Amino acid sequence: MEPIKFEVYSPVRNTINGALGVVVKTAGENITIQPVTGERITFRAQYLAQASEAEASSLAPLIARLKKEEEDRNKPKPSEDPVLIRAAFEKFMRHIAVRYPKAEQSFREFWNEIMAVTGDAPGQTWEMRPSSVKYPCPIIKVCSNNKWVYLLYLQAGWDLRMEIKKEFLPPGAEALFPIDNAMYGMGRAVELTYARFPPETRKKYLDCLKAIYAAGKSS
């Protein structure tokens, strides 16, 4: 029997004790759920079942709350002083340099290539994810419907993880971001090692970014 595929925000039931919850993350057979009360917990998919219609109805408020929380997390915050944003970026880079000097050099080179595409305008084309969250990082933004919104998160360190909002990916670009259901289902991701990220590979991501920016300007 094929295992059940659970989507993010699916209402589910624990087959062991009957407890209800909502899927917030999937990683192969590991499914993380948010119970009605208490902390999130991860189960193997085999111990979960789709909730019944009545059970799903009772979980509707929780699903709505989780979606609203994710929407709020991804809303651009009021722009800070560009000088402060740039200072936060340099602090971020110094932290990488202390632990992984070669990674800092490689990421800065890629960052400069990205700035050549987007324009280096802190507060508009990019900003820093707040240091109060677990993984502070630079965020590339794109103009959509006359608003600058979050597009691409660059979680840099020993390696590089990029998470992009699905809605902006050009057709056929999904292969560049093979990890689905990032950002609680709203994005796709890729994890790369700098040693395997030569100029010809970087160009594919830069061309993708160029296409997204071109689409934004024409919309």
Question: What's the average model confidence in pLDDT over 111-116?
Answer: 98
* Confidence band for 23, pLDDT divided at 50, 70 and 90: very high
Higher-confidence position of 165 and 129: 165
For residue 79, what pLDDT is reported?
58
Domain 82-218 has CATH 3.90.1150: yes
* Confidence band for 1, pLDDT divided at 50, 70 and 90: very low
Residue with tokens 């997204």, as numbered in its chain: 212
Q: How many CA atoms lie within 13 A of 179 on its CB side?
A: 15
Higher-confidence position of 194 and 4: 194
Higher-confidence position of 37 and 212: 212
How far the first Cα of the chain sits from its last, in Å, is 46
CATH 3.90.1150 domain extents, the chain: 82-218
* Confidence band for 185, pLDDT divided at 50, 70 and 90: confident
Question: What's the average model confidence in pLDDT over 190-196?
Answer: 94
CB 47 within 8 A of CB 6: no
Q: Please give the Cα distance from 48 to 199 (Å, whole number).
A: 44
